[in-house]
Amino acid sequence: FDSFIHLFWVDTNNWKSKNHLEFNLPLSKKIIKKISSQGLKNITVLGTCLEYGLVEGVLNENQIEFPHTNYSLGKLKLLKLLTEMSMNNQINLNWLRLFYVYGKDQPEETIYGSLKKSIKNNKRSFDMSEGNQIRDYLEISKAIEIIEKIACKKKNLGVINVCSGKGEALKSHVRKWVKEISPESKIELNFGYYPYRKDEPFSFWGDVKKLNKILES
């Protein structure tokens, strides 16, 4: 094979976990250094929008990052190493900053997975926050398609946002998901049950100018 897509990362639902720095980071370094030493040059790695930090509004790849969790810090440390490798012509690097995804096979810990489970179990209501936070969601099959297309280009493209480029209130996303999962569902959305998270921005979405240019080329 001539291209490698690195998706491995544990504890992605626990942003404070020490595993991001003590397990994920060193093992990822070891794996990528090993395969690059054997002549593999094309490497695509999944990053996260959380690398930008607690920043509001539209986020583009040229912004300075402000990691505020072990998860985002671990990813950025790996990015720094791989950027140095790409500058030394050891690898062609694609660092894909994934925003939020939904769709088939999403874990039950995610809001989509939890909603799907509640509908399947004929729950009367679904507990969530007020839902006014603005999020950028991309359907999982579309995200996979983008990852594959970029990896197959075999170029040194650097950091790329992978998202829809559109910000929308979470409650709007959830209402659409209910209709997609089960059009006949009568489940009620219990807004305000959970407080808003303090470890992520309230309103943000991704800039897709670079992504669209790459996909069109």
Q: Quote the CA–CA distance of 41 and 3 in Å, as a whole number.
A: 7
Residue 89's pLDDT is what? 86
Q: Report whether pLDDT(200) > 90.
A: yes
pLDDT, tens only, 113-172: 999 999 999 999 999 999 999 999 999 999 999 999 999 999 999 999 999 999 999 999
**106: Cα within 13 Å, side-chain hemisphere:** 23
Q: What span, in angstroms and rounded, lies between the C-alpha atoms of 37 and 74? A: 22
Q: What is the pTM of this model?
A: 0.95
Please identify which residue in the block is written with the tokens 């690195």.
6
Q: What is the pLDDT of residues 68-102, one digit of tens each?
A: 999 999 999 999 999 999 999 889 999 999 999 99
Q: What is the mean pLDDT of residues 22-35?
A: 96
| CA-to-CA separations, 128 to 78, 115, 118, in angstroms, rounded | 34, 10, 12
Nearest residue to 143 (alpha-carbon basis) of 106, 108, 169, 180: 106
Residues 207/144, Cβ–Cβ less than 8 Å: no
